[in-house]
Amino acid sequence: MENLFNNIAEAVLDGDINETQRLTEEAVEKDATAKEILNQGLLKGMNEVGVLFKQGELFVPEVLVSAKAMDTGMQVIKPLIKEGDIKKSGKCLFATVKGDLHDIGKKLVSMMLEGAGYEVIDLGVDTSPEKIVEAVKEHQPDILGMSAMLTTTMANMNDTIKALEENGLADKVKIMVGGAPVSPNYAENIGANYSSDAHSAVELANKLMV
């Protein structure tokens, strides 16, 4: 099985969408858990992509194809994540903030929350504070989750919280934030709750719902 996970990681790194799908399906058939496939396969590959991107050995188009491959694999394991408890735990609204196009981490967090019984509404990427304010009014979620992967877009989390305050909505929704550049300190400063990954995001959401 370890070989299979490594091959999944390799397929993500190569940006081979069909192979990622085929190998992930094979792992599911062989009863691998969603966690194993994620941590030892898909995420391992994506992490490697991150390293090579940073070193300038991979470029945006290649990273995009790897992201697509990772997404294809995540769709395959989605039913596995959702097999768990299906009782409704609460409603979450998710968005990647303005100026930011990264959505893999946000999708993963959404998926885990859905698996834990939450209803998730995903506003997508590059979401302006105005759009988030409108969506909070419309959907009245229990939790708003914001994702930022760039140091330059992180400040838009704060702008969104300010916009919520101006509209009298800040105390009507619990806010959680995450993404690579976001720290617990930063979250605290802007009045939000922080979680570093998809697993602890579920724990945090459960805590916020109490």
**Is the CB of 32 or the CB of 70 nearer to ligand B12?**
70
Tell me the per-residue interface mask from 126 to 155 with ligand B12, x by CB under 6 A, - otherwise: -------------------xxx-xxx----
Cα 57 to Cα 65: distance, rounded to the nearest angstrom: 15
Cα 129 to Cα 134: distance, rounded to the nearest angstrom: 9
Question: φ, ψ for residue 174 (rounded to 5)?
Answer: -85, 140
Residues 67, 69, 95, 164: which binds ligand B12 (CB under 6 A)?
A: 67
> Closest approach of Cβ 51 to ligand B12, in Å?
7
Q: Which helix (H) or strand (E) holds 178?
A: strand 174-178
CA neighbor of 203 nearest in space, from 119, 94, 118, 102:
118
Question: Is residue 50 close enough to count as binding ligand B12 by CB under 6 A?
Answer: yes
Total residues contacting ligand B12 (rule CB under 6 A)? 36
Kindly identify the residues of this chain, within the stretch 3-32, that bind ligand B12 according to CB under 6 A.
none
Residues 8, 76, 95, 177: which binds ligand B12 (CB under 6 A)?
A: 177
**Is the CB of 154 or the CB of 163 nearer to ligand B12?**
154
Cα 207 to Cα 210: distance, rounded to the nearest angstrom: 6
**Is the CB of 30 or the CB of 152 nearer to ligand B12?**
152
Residues 11, 113, 178, 187: which binds ligand B12 (CB under 6 A)?
A: 178
126: tokens are 């590059």
Quick one: three-class SS letters along 102-143?
CCHHHHHHHHHHHHCCEEEEECCCCECHHHHHHHHHHHCCCE
Cα 160 to Cα 150: distance, rounded to the nearest angstrom: 16
> Closest approach of Cβ 118 to ligand B12, in Å?
12
> Closest approach of Cβ 154 to ligand B12, in Å?
8
Binding site for ligand B12 (CB under 6 A): 43, 46, 49-50, 53-54, 60, 63-64, 67, 99-106, 108-109, 145-147, 149-151, 176-181, 195, 197-198, 201
